[in-house]
């Protein structure tokens, strides 16, 4: 009933069972012990959870034993509930193990317990899980590596970080994917993670003295940071909320932040007094995308949205707004998809969104409702965005192809992949959306969306999980489409792919956060 990761002792007089978890970084140890206690019908009041001998207190000295023989078979538990509980026990609060087990025990009588958000235990568990996910996000954002040498002379990058919770094993795979070609080590007080270019290994914690204090590139980084700092957008309260001061001591740029803040007013006055300069984006011609070829275009547009050459050639003017763009797009005949689709599905979101999310094409439900990502794939996307701490309402969501392509199967309409030609014909509209919204990051979902954004076909595996440049000069992160996750039959593989999908979204969010910190320290 107990593996090497936990020790169990029992006091017969009071029927109290003590479960000691050897490694708080491994929630699967708690899961195995909790299931054993549950099958033995041990109520929460009869189980004491500890992490190590120091916390065991007056329970020391009791002989290690095993749980009573199980009285019940294993109980199935929804994957979402298991994920929540395993996230909860990563919380540093000593009560997290007891809280998680109490929730597990209560599902005997309340199978739908996890759907009751107002329940005090569920609410507290969600708060614990949110704190853990937020801590993991901060670790991805604020880890800073410094160069040193291994005994064999190879270069290694070492970072020191002080997480609030037990998240080293949770976040280490993100760094392994992002810095796959580097040797690196992340040291924390409770645990360490190392990557040798092939394998990820975990070890005990360390002290700050074990990490290097500086490297030769940090002076250059501070000079660059000061050069790109924008004093006109300085919001000290927002900066300290996003980047609390407790992280500053590990950030090389923190040494100059106070000086930059003090000099912000005078630098802003100098910027205002300077002559206006044409923006790089306007100089690059992003607002003057060529109009669609006449031979393949018949557009319905209002007179205010069109220009003519006096000879009967009426084509769309460069739109002044998304509303004008979509009025024109509603009459697009560049490809035959409009013939069978219910309606054009425009993008949705703020016109000044910093992040644009581009999918492949509308689905059956989107075609009926007229909005992007409102069907099953949209629910998967919403869940992943929440896990990556991205606000969908602050993002602009659209598709590379604006009409639903499908084939009839009885009464059902099954999604059919758009052709390269259909994607290319619709790219004119996508380029216009990008030019009007002017996002700072584009998240590309799927191969069809990648062709629409990048202008060429790519293999997702070749460009995934890293920031690349789009033809518009905007950073982009390419990942899978949420519908891909829905089609994976194997649960274990699907969960792994869902975690990787969230990591890709987190990468995009971290890149935006880096730009925010650079502008508003």
* 136 close to 388: Cβ distance less than 8 angstroms: no
Token pair of 130, please?
């949110």
In this predicted structure, the answer to whether residue 252 has a pLDDT above a threshold of 50 is yes
Segments in 234-343 forming alpha helices (H)? 236-242, 254-262, 264-273, 280-283, 322-329
Per-residue confidence (pLDDT) for residue 226, from 0 to 100? 72
**pLDDT digit string, tens, across residues 180-192:** 888 999 999 999 9
Counts for the chain of helices (H) and strands (E), in that order: 19, 18
Per-residue confidence (pLDDT) for residue 8, from 0 to 100? 54
* 366 close to 326: Cβ distance less than 8 angstroms: no
Token pair of 227, please?
């050069």
Torsion of CA 58, 59, 61, 62, to 10 degrees: 150
Per-residue confidence (pLDDT) for residue 249, from 0 to 100? 66
Please state, as a whole number, how many other Cβ atoms lie within 10 Å of the Cβ of residue 444.
32
Please state, as a whole number, how many other Cβ atoms lie within 10 Å of the Cβ of residue 356.
25
Largest alpha-carbon pair distance within the chain? 100
- Averaged pLDDT, 37-61: 70
pLDDT tier, 300 (very low <50, low <70, confident <90, very high otherwise): very low
Q: Which run of H or of E encompasses 518?
A: helix 491-519
Please state the separation of Cα 281 from the chain's center in Å: 27
Per-residue confidence (pLDDT) for residue 71, from 0 to 100? 78
- Rounded percentage of the chain residues whose pLDDT exceeds 90: 45
- End-to-end CA, the chain: 52
Per-residue confidence (pLDDT) for residue 3, from 0 to 100? 47
**pLDDT digit string, tens, across residues 190-199:** 999 999 988 9
> Higher-confidence residue: 206 or 260?
206
Cβ burial, residue 237 (10 Å; 0-12/13-18/19+):
exposed
Cβ neighbours for 450, distance < 8 A, ≥ 6 positions apart: 444, 457, 458, 460, 463, 478
Q: What angle do CA 479, 483, 484 make, to 5 degrees?
A: 60
Give the whole-angstrom CA distance, residue 514 versus residue 142.
Answer: 9
Give the whole-angstrom CA distance, residue 461 versus residue 58.
Answer: 54
* 396 close to 355: Cβ distance less than 8 angstroms: yes
Per-residue confidence (pLDDT) for residue 228, from 0 to 100? 67
Cβ burial, residue 386 (10 Å; 0-12/13-18/19+):
middle
In this predicted structure, the answer to whether residue 320 has a pLDDT above a threshold of 90 is no
In this predicted structure, the answer to whether residue 12 has a pLDDT above a threshold of 80 is no
Domains and CATH numbers, the chain: 6-137 (no CATH), 143-210 (no CATH), 218-273 (no CATH), 286-519 (3.40.470.10)
- Averaged pLDDT, 312-325: 64
pLDDT tier, 242 (very low <50, low <70, confident <90, very high otherwise): low
**pLDDT digit string, tens, across residues 331-340:** 888 888 988 8
Per-residue confidence (pLDDT) for residue 318, from 0 to 100? 55
pLDDT tier, 289 (very low <50, low <70, confident <90, very high otherwise): very low
- For the entire predicted model, the pTM comes to 0.48
- Averaged pLDDT, 134-142: 89
pLDDT tier, 100 (very low <50, low <70, confident <90, very high otherwise): very high
* Helix 420-437, helix 447-454: angle, nearest 10: 60
Place of tokens 């040291």: 187
The per-residue pLDDT of the chain, averaged, comes to 81
Give the whole-angstrom CA distance, residue 84 versus residue 80.
Answer: 6
**pLDDT digit string, tens, across residues 65-77:** 456 667 788 888 8
pLDDT tier, 295 (very low <50, low <70, confident <90, very high otherwise): very low
Per-residue confidence (pLDDT) for residue 4, from 0 to 100? 42
Q: DSSP character for 368?
A: H
SS3 444: strand
SS3 348: strand
- Lowest mean per-residue pLDDT among 154-168, 282-296, 313-327: 282-296
**pLDDT digit string, tens, across residues 401-447:** 999 999 888 778 888 899 999 999 999 899 999 999 999 999 999 99
Q: Rounded to whole angstroms, what are the CA distances from 45 to 14, 17, 88, 490? A: 11, 9, 19, 37
Per-residue confidence (pLDDT) for residue 150, from 0 to 100? 83
pLDDT tier, 396 (very low <50, low <70, confident <90, very high otherwise): very high
| Rg, the chain, Cα only | 27
* 416 close to 406: Cβ distance less than 8 angstroms: yes
Token pair of 286, please?
């992003």
399 closest CA partner among 485, 315, 483, 288: 483
Token pair of 29, please?
């140890």
Per-residue confidence (pLDDT) for residue 262, from 0 to 100? 76
Give the whole-angstrom CA distance, residue 446 versus residue 359.
Answer: 7
Cβ neighbours for 8, distance < 8 A, ≥ 6 positions apart: 1, 2, 17, 18, 19, 20, 33, 36, 64, 65, 66, 67
Q: Rounded to whole angstroms, what are the CA distances from 512 to 70, 90, 337, 389? A: 51, 27, 35, 12
**φ and ψ of 2, to 5 deg:** -140, 130
Give the whole-angstrom CA distance, residue 478 versus residue 444.
Answer: 5
Q: Rounded to whole angstroms, what are the CA distances from 15 to 11, 19, 67, 359? A: 5, 13, 11, 57
> Higher-confidence residue: 321 or 476?
476
Ramachandran assignment for 68, one of left (phi > 0), alpha (psi -120 to 50 degrees), beta (any other): beta
């Amino acid at each position: 009933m107990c593996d090497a990761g936990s020790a169990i002792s029992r006091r017969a007089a009071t029927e109290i069972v003590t479960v000691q978890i050897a490694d708080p970084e491994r929630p699967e140890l708690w899961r195995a012990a909790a299931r054993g206690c549950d099958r033995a019908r041990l109520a929460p009041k009869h189980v004491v959870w500890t992490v190590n001998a120091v916390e065991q207190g007056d329970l020391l000295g009791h002989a290690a034993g095993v749980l009573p023989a199980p009285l019940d078979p294993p109980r199935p538990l929804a994957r979402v509930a298991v994920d929540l509980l395993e996230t909860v026990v990563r919380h540093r609060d000593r009560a997290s193990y007891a809280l998680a087990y109490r929730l597990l025990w209560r599902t005997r009588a309340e199978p739908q317990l996890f759907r009751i958000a107002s329940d005090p235990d569920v609410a507290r568990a969600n708060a614990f899980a949110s704190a853990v996910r937020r801590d993991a996000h901060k670790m991805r954002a604020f880890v800073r590596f410094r160069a040193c040498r291994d005994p064999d002379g190879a270069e290694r990058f070492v970072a020191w970080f002080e997480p609030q919770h037990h998240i080293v094993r949770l976040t280490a795979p993100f760094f392994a994917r992002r810095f796959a070609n580097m040797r690196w080590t992340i040291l924390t007080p409770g645990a360490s993670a190392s990557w040798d270019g092939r394998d990820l290994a975990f070890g005990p914690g360390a002290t700050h003295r074990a990490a290097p204090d500086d490297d030769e590139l940090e002076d250059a980084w501070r000079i660059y940071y000061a050069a790109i700092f924008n004093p006109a957008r300085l919001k000290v309260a927002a900066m300290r909320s996003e980047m609390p001061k407790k992280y500053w001591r590990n950030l090389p740029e923190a040494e100059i932040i106070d000086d930059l803040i003090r000099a912000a007013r005078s630098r802003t006055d100098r910027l205002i007094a300077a002559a206006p300069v044409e923006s790089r984006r306007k100089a690059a011609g992003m607002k003057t995308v060529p109009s669609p070829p006449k031979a393949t275009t018949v557009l319905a547009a209002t007179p205010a949205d069109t220009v003519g050459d006096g000879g009967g050639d009426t084509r769309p003017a460069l739109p002044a707004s998304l509303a004008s763009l979509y009025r024109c797009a509603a009459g697009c005949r560049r490809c035959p998809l409009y013939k069978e689709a219910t309606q054009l599905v425009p993008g949705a979101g703020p016109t000044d969104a910093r992040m644009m999310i581009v999918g492949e094409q509308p689905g059956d439900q989107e075609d009926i409702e007229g909005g992007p990502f409102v069907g099953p794939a949209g629910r998967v996307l919403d869940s992943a965005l929440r896990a990556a701490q991205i606000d969908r309402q602050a993002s602009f969501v659209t598709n590379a192809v604006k009409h639903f392509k499908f084939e009839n199967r009885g009464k059902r309409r099954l999604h059919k992949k758009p052709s390269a030609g259909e994607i290319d014909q619709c790219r004119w509209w996508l380029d216009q959306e990008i030019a009007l919204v002017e996002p700072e990051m584009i998240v590309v979902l799927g191969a069809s969306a990648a062709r629409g954004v990048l202008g060429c076909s790519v293999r997702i595996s070749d460009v995934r999980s890293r920031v690349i440049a789009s033809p518009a000069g905007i950073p982009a992160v390419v990942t899978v489409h949420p519908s891909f996750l829905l089609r994976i039959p194997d649960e274990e593989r699907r969960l792994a792919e869902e975690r990787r999908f969230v990591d890709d979204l987190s990468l995009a969010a971290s890149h935006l956060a880096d730009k925010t910190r650079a502008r508003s320290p």
